[in-house]
Structure 1
């Protein structure tokens, strides 16, 4: 591990759920110079509480570890409490939030062999709602923004339970995530690499090399063979194949491209093309329908209003202190489940 941990930069993988973010994380977890834990919204959830903390004792570290343990999937990081305590209490000098996060990430136990740490990475689909905030928190970080055809994204999301698979809602969130990244690109174009899932699936080595060049890293062919390492570590392979990610153990392929053509109805495609609008064109996705459809727009308004309301509530709630923010999140989850059940029943899904 490098001794100057505060100098190790961060990169963030930004993308909507079911868009290839987990695939990218797996490819770079296999890189010997990258530490990129399983997804867990540690940074966003702990920032409000710990951003001004500079001095630490054993009780404070115990409280930090308790907060970390409450974060989704953090247990899969296998961060040892005593090791974290030793790193924090043994550090000579003031510990900023940025350094604190690095000390936490340093404890991630990857199944892949690591040498000198040249990058810390982070991936979480929820970041697609907060990319601008991450940029303010880490102004020198790099961002890899991966997009997937919004219509294929809907088909894939119908296999999971964490987002209501409603055409207008998914298209709205797709556009919203892209526009947040557009703002960052305008401010710091050299810090963002845009990538389409379709291109990664079609040419995995070429695109992985492109990302490595973006991060000034050497490319290792083993990155694309991460499955072989996992096959010899069944317990850790099970951690990789968390619910909804069984395809990780299959070779990268183009079999999930343009699946919407057989899976969606013409009306569903029309709604999504209408909501995505010119943003689809800007990101290289050809719309099948380009007209204006007043009746469909009127029918979609309740969903779009819900999407705006939830987006605002999530962003405002995340600005609260850690405890109240957790309470708000739980309430939003209850409201979401009620809405999802009603909306999907109405749409016939």
Structure 2
């Protein structure tokens, strides 16, 4: 049976929370609400020093467990026990993170954990450094529906051009992953197909994950009360049955000019993913120019961050890769743990 970590990725508002709950409904898998410690701590890894030193591991664990920005409290695991297990665990950045997720899985007596955050789609190389045996599920939804939904979110303060850019970036990142990762590491799934025939799509997904299909995954309402924080009111749909009611609703939720810009700039990507275009009239030149400028600024920002990280990789104080699962330990040249240490009692 597999113990590989699983990451749900995609454009925001593409149904990743629904998929998170479906996975969490599986008897062997636990996928928590979104946390906020993995990426910030990775980029600040030089701050924590050499994690092979107990005091440095303790300092990082305390930051994860007590800083309000990390949302560690959403995991509902014991802070002191987490710090203790980190101190006694392997000295690597990924092992510290993995310990938190493993303890979350232990809460439900499950042997495998996952994590969900849409923006991870652009950070898969980073995640593979931390968890070299990880698997990735990219949930893809019609870009026009994603743009329409993003605009309506209370936490989304950017304009339609940024929303269009966000979907384009996710699709482009997925294309790169499809070309470079193995078939047992990267999997693409369309939201529309998942909501149309959940059983068929989830059976195929379970095959990718090397897991037996569980019928409980089809109706993940119960998991929503555990794995979706109550304050996230924009995820209210996850507390009901799986539905196709929002598929194609962009036609009523976007303005004509937004549809025109989206189809003009995303057309090739939409069609490559199986979405039909409306044949909207050509958008205004100023809208196209504004969207191109937004895309260029965002691309430049990503490149600057990428270059800074490449430099930091040359000065890393300690190992990055986790050494917890069977695959991670094998890659690190460590002996396998006894089954009793990984399977719940």
TM-score by length of 2: 0.77
Instruction: Map 1:56-205 onto structure 2 (within 5 A).
Output: 56-57=53-54, 60-70=57-67, 71-91=69-89, 94-108=90-104, 113-115=108-110, 117=111, 119-164=112-157, 166-190=159-183, 191-205=185-199
Q: Compute the displacement of 1:57 (Å).
A: 3.1
Helix, strand or coil for the counterpart of 2:219? helix
Kindly indicate whether the alpha-carbon contact (under 8 Å) linking 2:64 and 2:70 is maintained by their aligned counterparts in 1: no
Does structure 2 conserve the Cα–Cα contact (< 8 Å) formed by 1:132 and 1:181?
A: no
Aligned counterparts of 1:173 and 1:89: Cα–Cα separation in 2: 38
Q: What CA distance in whole angstroms lies between the structure 2 residues aligned with 1:163 and 1:318?
A: 27
Aligned-pair distance for 1:313?
Answer: 6.0
Q: CA deviation at 1:173?
A: 1.6
Change (3 A) 1:305 1:237: closer
- Rounded to whole Å, the distance in 2 between the matches of 1:162 and 1:306 is 21
Contact preservation (8 Å) 2:61, 2:96 = no
Deviations 1:177-212 (A, max 9, x none): 111121122112412110111111111122122211
CA contact under 8 A between 1:79 and 1:109: conserved in structure 2?
Answer: no
For residues 138 and 223 of structure 2, the distance between their equivalents in structure 1, rounded to whole angstroms, comes to 27
Higher relative contact order (CA 8 A, sep 6+): 2
Equivalent residue for 1:335? none
Contact persistence 2:65–2:79 (CA under 8 A): no
Q: Given that residues 8 and 116 in structure 2 are in contact (C-alpha distance below 8 angstroms), is that contact kept between their aligned partners in structure 1?
A: yes
Structure 2 residue aligned with 1:257, among 229, 237, 247? 247
Kindly tell me: are residues 238 and 34 of structure 1, through their superposed partners in 2, closer, same or farther at Cα, counting changes over 3 Å? Answer: closer
Deviations 1:219-270 (A, max 9, x none): 2112233324666xxxx47725623111111100100000011222322111
Gaps of 5+ in 2: 313-345
RMSD: 3.0
* Cα distance in structure 1, aligned partners of 2:24 and 2:228: 15
Give CA-to-partner distance per residue, 1:16-45, whole Å, 9 cap, x none.
111111111111112221132211143222
Q: How many residues align?
A: 307
1:35: which partner in 2? 30
> Displacement of 1:11 after TM fit?
1.7
Q: Unpaired runs of 5+ in structure 1?
A: 322-349
Counterparts of 1:49 and 1:299 in 2: how far apart (Å)? 33
TM-score normalised by structure 1 residue count: 0.76
The answer for the alignment partner of 2:291 in structure 1 is 300
Aligned to 2:10: 15
Separation (CA, whole Å) in 1 of partners of 2:77 and 2:95:
16
Q: In structure 1, how many angstroms separate the alpha carbons of the residues matched to 2:216 and 2:208?
A: 19
Do the aligned residues in 1 keep the contact of 2:140 with 2:189 (CA within 8 Å)?
yes
- Secondary structure of 2:279 counterpart: coil
